[in-house]
Structure 1
């Protein structure tokens, strides 16, 4: 076993773990109820929640993918983020007040109040499946990075990193998740700043040379690498090609989905002390995330300028597509950072992952208890019983996460990751469309929504099979898969809306389990 880090680096990494453990222990002493464990007693200020949202949205994938993209191609990956302020503006003026006024704990309580229990259970299960897949992939990719940086066995990296984040999340609840996310955001940014400072210091001519080389090689553009040549994107174009408008629209759809229905986000809404602080948190996240993402894009451009002056065989292979672009930052860290700084940057890599992993574990635990266990199976127990159930489901989510990452590490990773991402997209497709039906229409019928879900799932499966050339040409239509999320939500909305208006609008459609008025149903759901 070839250990690549020194004692100073080890001390920095251990110090980071110790601080996380202390935060988890302190927060565990507060968790005497599910209200504290799930939403922190609804007592947090906007700045804290805002920075926590930043940490949740920036995973280790982003920490590596943004520099990788701008190193090899351009700033194209930044385009979807431009839509974030628009999505947050809409969410803060439409969805937010409802979630706050109802003292919501789960994003999916709303769906039962509007459409019935079956839609709530479907959305909850879709979230659990998609989030479990995402957690396993993020943990594996993070552990792979740590393995490359340290030389430790990949399985050991998975068990240690996954086990540690699981422990402080299980015992500390949402309080530990939020406070560690804040610290992890600062560590993440600090690690990136150290990397950039080292790159700029080594480039002849400094930051001015970075801009010169970047501009000369079209690195600050919105371009796509086609057959080794950077080609600027058109604003509009055919569905088979990426365009500027398409990427912004994809970003808008993604962010709208997150801020209307993603449990990781909705849970943060509910953890603030009032509506004003929640809005502050959302805008703190926006105006922090945009420059942070741009910073990591610029780091990749700076790395391109550095290796333009000091080319290596490895980086030339990355530019030629013979190696993965995500290897460029780890390669620089291993070979060019001094001892001590390397440890801090590895801690930043771990921070980027843990801020996503802890949020996912806690979110799965929350919806498992609130939306399924307490709502369907065990409905009238003391709060202490549900708190113990929350610990159990958090532990189960952690086991699934670690087990999934271990399976990936011993499998054809490209195939398994691809399959996992496809499965996640299939089960969670059209979620924004469901919430738009709930917030902006008067549809009440469960059958109309199920018609939309069935059609959306069928469309997603057809899209995947078409992209894999598994269908006859006569019924196959290929387009850039980035469009799938847009089309899926449009289909969900229009099918649900159309079926209701054609078949059920003139009838008094009764929900499957409910003959009470809508007001009574909502009281049952939220109380």
Structure 2
């Protein structure tokens, strides 16, 4: 009986057909793009889609690339265990979209860069660029391996799909359409995968509403279970999710992901005009709202069904990551093919993230390491290198999935990595974009101090996870389970952080510094980098260049508010840039030459 615990059905033949068909369709899109663009072999075409993409597909790709399988499985479990506080990220998405579109997009688009880390050499020096790229590669490779492994493990234990067979198949499919189709294949595949992900959520909600007597009944059950207590205005920075940690810390975290992360930057600079590039961020914002709302309501549906029989406490599951797959097999197995659709939805998230990562890793490796050293490569050699690197990084990500299988429960650690590494990098970019007095010494020292602090608190939090008092898990029960278990206590879940046993003796920092909410990691790294970067820059004499290229800094004319209300005369360059945005003209930085073959001197003179 649904919602009463015990074993659930496994995949039927039709489920396998639907799942396999989705993967083959994804590979087919890559092959189609490869055949369609077989005459266009330039690196700008491969890595940036020829810079002719439009806002809507890029926006859907932006959304899909970070709506990974971890998100598809983990966000509903978040609502089930901790309630709807996660819904407040909708505000963070809005803040992130506005800041990225109005500050970072005009600057990167104006410079005509391919790698986001080119900017660090333009503004500071070569060493800082190499360090920034290396940090990104390490972060992305590890995260992508976990993105492949975590959903595969959860689905393997519920559906019976072979774990390593699916892992290898996922990597191979991504390698195929990344290698043959380039960024266009990645973006258009992301569009299809985004639709599949949303369809999976809708199927769960619709079936749950039928079983529970409507959406209103689901909402009432969530309210009675305390799942709708969204707003917590406690300023305590140690509490995992509060209004302030999500709005302030979460906004900075998402800005660090969308504004300087190569896989995101590569998408919006592939747009054919600045107007399309900015619009893609705002359409992406709506996509994020829809996705997180469907995911959260799926979690509330799950709670309504299991409100009297928690599958994890009942011993039916070994980890919370298996909650949603368990629900799907419990309520949708009577409809052959529908569970396969959900599994396809989860793996669509995985495929979109992995393909985005592979394409971005190829771009930064070519731009930041290979081309500066090998400037005389022919276009044919560059194309072969692009494809070869796609195969290499695809294999590396599969290998990292194997490493992840030996690391235990590292899901929270994987998500925290963005805060620990992207935070100091965001501080470095803001230091260069906003402060003309900052120099390379200050930037390097500030970034190192910021990185040390975030790694210290982040790793400490993994060794000594926060207590339930700070994570605020909600109560669950097994009083309605038909499966007899000898449980004597029914209460809050343990901390969402890794399930390693907490040491009996906790050091003084464990319940203070190490318990800092993971959402504040980016804010800590960003502020530390900026503050120490400015101090060291002032001590070392500041920026000694007599005249710096104004294109390297944020200009008020880039912002919509100044462009709309400032009636004073602007320079020819600014006036032309405004026309590019308002009228949709092609950015002149991209029309006359292949960006991958430009040298640094040409870029800085644009």
Deviations 1:41-66 (A, max 9, x none): 01111111111111112111111111
Render the CA deviation track for 1:371-393: whole Å, top value 9, x for unaligned: 11112x21221122112111122
C-alpha distance in 2 between matches for 1:365 and 1:326: 31
Q: Take 1:317 and 1:234, find their aligned partners in 2: how far apart are those partners? A: 34
Per the normalisation by structure 2, the TM-score is 0.77
Alpha-carbon offset, residue 124 of structure 1: 0.8
1:20 corresponds to: 26
Give the match for residue 246 of structure 1: 245
Looking at structure 1, the residues matched to 217 and 549 of structure 2 have their Cα atoms a distance apart, in angstroms, of 68
1:349 counterpart residue number: 346
Unpaired runs of 5+ residues, structure 1, are 223-231
Show the counterpart of 2:303: 304
Match of residue 372, structure 1, among 369, 373, 376: 369
Residues 330 and 465 of structure 1: is their aligned pair in 2 closer, same or farther, counting only changes over 3 Å? closer
CA contact (8 A) 2:457 2:516 kept: no
Q: 1:523 matched to which residue of 2?
A: 602
Does 1:216 pair with 2:224?
yes
5 Å-filtered alignment, 1:114-513, equals 114-203=123-212, 205-222=213-230, 233-237=232-236, 239=238, 242-308=241-307, 311-312=308-309, 314=311, 316-317=313-314, 323-337=318-332, 338-375=335-372, 377-409=373-405, 411-414=406-409, 426-443=420-437, 445-464=439-458, 466-467=460-461, 468=463, 473=508, 477-482=513-518, 483-505=520-542, 508=544
Aligned positions, number: 504
- Note the C-alpha offset of 1:292: 1.7
How big is the shift at 1:518?
Answer: 8.9
Shift of 1:78: 2.5
Contact 2:239/2:516 (CA < 8 Å) preserved in 1? Answer: yes
- Output the CA distance in 1 between the equivalents of 2:549 and 2:433: 18
The separation in 1 between residues aligned to 2:423 and 2:56, in whole angstroms, is 32
- Deviation digits for residues 157-182 of structure 1 (CA, Å, limit 9, x no counterpart): 21112222222222211011000000
Indicate the SS of the match to 1:236. Answer: coil
Following TM superposition, by how much is the alpha carbon of 1:238 offset from its aligned partner in structure 2, in angstroms?
Answer: 5.0
Change (3 A) 1:497 1:13: same
What per-residue deviation string (whole Å, max 9, x for no partner) do you get for residues 23-43 of structure 1?
111111315110110000011
Q: CA deviation at 1:14?
A: 2.2
SS in 2 for 1:300: helix
CA distance in 1, matches of 2:48, 2:330: 43
Structure 2: gaps of 5 or more residues: 1-7, 465-502, 552-598
How far the C-alpha of 1:334 sits from its partner, in A, is: 1.6
Shift of 1:523: 2.7
Structure 1 residues 501 and 180: CA distance shift in structure 2, 3 A: same
Q: Shift in Å at residue 280 of structure 1?
A: 1.6
Is 1:107 the equivalent of 2:101? Answer: no
1:9 maps to 15
SS at 2:311 equivalent: helix
Contact kept in structure 1, 2:77 and 2:321, CA below 8 Å: yes
* Separation (CA, whole Å) in 2 of partners of 1:419 and 1:73: 18
Q: Whose helix proportion is higher, 1 or 2?
A: 1
Q: Is the CA contact (8 Å cut-off) linking 1:129 and 1:424 kept in structure 2?
A: no
Q: TM-score, normalised by structure 1?
A: 0.88
Cα RMSD, aligned residues only: 2.9
